[in-house]
Structure 1
Amino acid sequence: MALEGCRCAEARRGGGPSVAEERFRGLLEAAPDAMVIVDDTGTIRLVNAQTEALFGFRREELLGHPVELLVPRRFRAHHTRHREGYAANRQVRPMGAGLELHGVRKDGTEFPVEISLSPLETSDGLLLSAAVRDVSDRKAAEAELTALYEQQRHIALTLQRSLMGTPPSIPGLATASRYRPATQGAGVGGDWFDLVPLGAGRVGVLIGDVMGRGLEAAAVMGQLRSAAHALAKTGMQPRQLMQALDTCVADLDVPDQLVTCCYLVIAPDTGTVTVCSAGHLPTLVAGPGGRVVRLDAPVNAPLGVGDVLYEQSRAEVPPGATLVLYTDGLIETPGSDIEERIGELTGVLDEFFTRTATPRLEAVADHVLAGMVPGAESHNDDVTLLLAQLPAAPVDCAVTDLPAVSSAVPEGRAFLRKTLCSWECAARADDALLLLSELLTNAVRHGEGPVTLRVCRTLTELTVEVGDRSPHLPRPRPRLAAKDAESRRGLLLVRALAAGWGVQPTDEGKTTWFTLKL
């Protein structure tokens, strides 16, 4: 060859460059990228003007030298292996799929390049043509976009965690939770969970998932979480809360917005859990013996469908059992069957609870994530897991039914006095009897019979409940009663003397309760 110092076949016969050779040279010089042609030993045989401009070498300084002259020292071994392997299989590699490396200029300056290789068959053997493009500007733009993306992702995650809030620590209720944002896309989603102390030993547990990703889903989640928490604090039944949340979703005016949600009310004194699920995944229950089962609950449509009457159910759950609540990010994977994945989760839990007699919930949470989401950097949906271990049952509990007549007040007082004496709690008897008198009087005067009196004691607290069949909820009067008035004082006394008090609607009517510290 005889192109810029290379001798071609015609030059060896004494003639000048051929028409084909001149045409090839013209195409080479017209190429927008730096073109470097090497033989099968990696020796440079031909370059164009763009190569001189890009690398800062004169043409004669490159011809006849190893192509690794244009590669930083730390990359030369890798570059040589790639070039030799490429020469062996002789496959064309376009620029879009080119090997990204670093080039080095004559003055020692390194810069990122993209290389596209093509084999050239000649009468002298195989030559490799390398198109080299400086991608410094593109790399800088990509780095800027990456930094901007990470900044926006950090803002979005901070917003979501702020909207999700931190559930309160509830005495007697052991919990563990995990939240992992998605590693793909915006990262944030609409998952949330909450724990709501309802008084009288009862606890509300909420978990939900707003379909979709990004700030819009996080904003909807924040509104629904706040609304659900406020509604739960009123003591309303789970099905009533779901009905109210369904209206909230409709009022958000977000097209095609669907939300799954599950609300449970734990009542340790009766050993029951009341649950209403709006299209959410089934709650699992890990009993103290290790067996994991699904919590029986009616199948209701997700929130946002509209015109749905939500149903709830009540199940007996033994003290010390663990409720396992989660969102779809924990079990849904592309191409998987959701029932099979729930079965896998049940197996993971069953294995751990069977192996460990008294497992720590934090260890259970880590075990579940390791078994269900092993690729911590590859999940494309946010993952939420909540474990709640039911508190121990009250140390003592006594119940009696009374007629809705005036004689029920002294009968109830006598029952409470006798119960407190048998429990050796006489120190709080005076306060308890006074407050009970007020609740029983309200139930007899304004409620419907029969009246149920329940007294429960834990190691630190005494709870007294009065239930009747009237749905009308009592409330303290905004103004104090007159000195000679015989009514309008009861709930003000309860509020002043009790450690806590409240009213809880029930399917049969309502329950008014108060607690005293022991």
Structure 2
Amino acid sequence: MAEADRQHPLPSPDLLAELIEGTSLCVFLTGSYEQGMPLLWVNEAFAQKTGVTAGASAPPTALGRASIGPLERVLADPAEGMLAVPALVAGEGGTFTLQCLRADGTTYWSHVTFTPRRDASGATTHFFGVSVDVSAYVDERSAQLQTLAVERRQRADLDLIAQTTELLGDLEYPHALRDIAELLRSVVPWAAFYLNDDGLLYAEGIDMAAPPGGRGRRHARYVDGSEPEPVDETLPAAGLESIDAVQDLLDGLVDGPVLVRLDVAYPPYSASGWLRRDLVRRVLEETGVRPGSVVVHAVGGRRQVLGLLVTWNGDQAGAQGAAGEALGEPDDIRTVVEVVARRAGTAIDNARLYAREHHLAEALQRAMLPEQADVTGLDVWTYYAPNAEHAQVGGDWYDVLDIDGSTVGLVIGDVVGHDVEAAAAMGQLRSVVRSYAYELTTPGVVLDRVDTLVQGMRIPRSASLVYATLRRRTDETSDVPGEVRADESWDMEYTRAGHLPPLLLRDGEVRQLASSGGSLVGFGFTERRTAHEVLFPGDVLLFYTDGLIERRDRSLKTGLDALVETSARITARDAAGVGEELLSRLADAPEDDVAIVVVRLPDPVADASTPALSPRSRRWVLPSEPASIARARHAVVRSCQAWGLPESASAELVVSELVANGVLHGWGHIALRLFDTGDGLRIEVEDANPAPPVTTDGHPNRVGGFGMQIVERLADWGWRPAGSGKLVWARLKQPTSSLAVR
């Protein structure tokens, strides 16, 4: 006998039996699977816990099918015994987690281990089993998994809300609401938005032109005709308590969400009836399932409901129909949908309010911008560009006034601010200055009168401006008294009210016209002064607002010095060219509104020399009036002369037709742009009418209608949408011998 065996003798079989009998673990012994696994022996713990003793028979449900014999009486679900059958049939045994029954009928989770006993031939004759109660572990594990699932669901919900917020940041995207609804379909089978824009309408995006909210009743009319919605006689009528829950939600009479049954008929002219018909069709088309009910959430703005967010939950539960009953929407899903609906409503309301203010301010400002007079004897170019950061709303303005045929008034000003109030103040000041400019002649006197009137008007915004007058100087040595010569000079008088000084460009030198300065408009408590200059052919006057030179990273003085230096290097010999050079060098990224007026006195001798090296592009903004056609013709002729292009006659004809079309058929201001591409002159005309131009064979019984035929003969042309309107372009064809013969 080994030393270890002498010191620690093996326990006797009686001792082992005693220990097994007394253990708190449930222990049992069964026969082989072929014998039906009869329960041969159980210890006291097994019998007390399960109420099953040795010799128990198999339950009736086990007869005639694979089973684990009498042990199935221990299982809460006898079918779970099938998990162990394959291993027991093979005589291999194994460990299985099964839900078992206590003697009192309660359940617990147990790890059950089957250990096979084999005879000398290797055949399994018995199974020794041990059952360990693991309920505490399973419950803890289940709680952990449930917590993990909740956290995962919450993260998914937060991610969905974050993606929704990102989409709501760009409501001009035409499918923003559609994409949000598709995101929601990760938590519900189907979702969609309906906006109450003059009645309920299915919405994939936002109509920014719609009012901030509406209480329309378009949904209460039969969409396909004048007759009311027919009542489906095959459907039961809805109860009185839900006769038009959708309309109550739209009118703010209930907070929602509400359940709307789609398997009942609603009265004619009801919002619920309209929505039922539209939803059944859409859900059926997209899912192939006819919905029985939907949950409707209000998409609320600040003051009223803007629309609805509808979710269909697959009619899984709770679709009872009456108000106050279950919605069939779990609390976590309902919370997510409500958050999305609330954020969508706030974003839509803000966007529409912003768009309305933007549109109002832009309309005010564009209406107040001058309809520049075409001044004989002067080359005038004007430019205004609002800073996109300020939503095209500002207080900059300019004016060019043909006062009496020989006198021209020039104004440029800036009202503090970038909102509707600034635009309104600008309009008031413009009207005041205009009225006195036509009445009085001396700029200082005009500004004195403006100060007096503005002080009484209590305009809430301060403003600066420059006002100047230009008068022809007649040649007193001429043989004909009062004769005006083409090379005559001009007298200029000007005064400033807190505005940056105009620049005079002459023979490559730049001088600031800084005389006659004074305080801001309305603060002129001393008499305004008037300065005088004489202008000669070739001179250029530059009026501008601070947006041209002001930057965050430099002082205003540094910006003014840069403007003076840049102006000294200008080579263009037309007002538009001077303006384009300034813009290309100074206004590539303006931080404020920019307004510019360039006035040049033509110089026939210098202008006829070698074309100057200037930007090969020009732009003008013209009012929608017949006089703009002549201005456009003059503009293109001057540009062709400045660039040395020979096709000025064809360009003049094409521009005339395109601008005339814009005046006759468009609306809003007309933008004219010219480009020297190297392969020919490109002309672009933009207006606010989105309808494309059409080539016709003329108008029957009246003159006209051949404009686009002329354009086709002289140029390649096309069009494209631009903003809210269209842009028509034309590139002049190169001259050919055939065209020359014709």
TM normalised by structure 1 equals: 0.50
Larger radius of gyration: 2
Which protein has greater RCO, CA pairs closer than 8 Å, 6+ apart?
1
TM normalised by structure 2 equals: 0.36
